[in-house]
Each structure stands twice: as structure tokens, then as C-alpha cells.
Amino acid sequence: MGLGEDGYKEVLKAMYEAHYEGEWKLGFERFKKTWGKLYPEVVKSWERDMDNLTSYLKYPYALRRFIYTTNSLKRLIKEVKRRTKAIEVFPSIYPLRRLFIM
């Protein structure tokens, strides 16, 4: 499975749109189960920075879309979209991994 395959964006979007930390963690577990073997560095990084990645969840849901600088997951998704749109084809898995390990 890779970045362009079905389900990838849906999992990340569900994590971003989670109303509660528990929902976010369920989405993360889904990501980890599906793509964890392909992207172990991403999983390790997200596990290490879990508090930072979920910090936006302490704000009311209606205000979250206005929070840009503290929303690491949204910035990550936006950066991945921007990079993959420009590059389109990756020569191997390693350049793709660099997108996630910032």
C-alpha cells in the first residue's frame, strides 16, 4: 500500500476531524495497523509526539479549523498533498518517508 491508494486520506481526515482524543487514537491505531509496517518511522514519530499532535483537541470543535499554527496534523496533511502533487512519482519509498519525518 502506498500514499496514493484508497483509504489513506480517509484515515488521516478522520483523525483530523476527531471530536475527542479517543477518536483520534482510534484513527491512529487504524493507520498504524494498515500502514505501520510500511512507515514505522512515521508511527514512532507520532507516538513520540502524541501530546503535540492531539493538542488541538482541547479546543471546541467549531474553533479548530481556525487553529493553524498549533495543528501539526493538518499542516502535515497539507504538506504531503503539496509535495505529492508536485512530485507525482517517487523513485523509491525513502523520499516518500522523508515527507513524514520532519
Query: How many C-beta atoms surround the C-beta of residue 39 within 10 A?
Result: 22
**Angle subtended at Cα 14 by Cα 29 and Cα 24, rounded to the nearest 5 degrees:** 45
Nearest-angstrom CA–CA distance, 17 and 29: 15
pTM beyond 0.75, yes or no: no
First-last CA distance in the chain? 22
Question: What is the reported pLDDT for 2?
Answer: 47
Nearest-angstrom CA–CA distance, 54 and 36: 19
pLDDT tens digits, residue range 61-83?
877 776 655 566 777 778 777 87
DSSP state of 57: G
Question: What is the reported pLDDT for 3?
Answer: 47
- Main-chain phi, psi angles of 15, to 5 degrees: -65, -45
Question: What is the reported pLDDT for 18?
Answer: 87
Domain assignments of the chain as residue spans, ordered by start: 8-100
pLDDT tens digits, residue range 3-62?
445 567 888 888 888 888 899 999 999 999 988 898 899 899 999 998 888 888 888 887
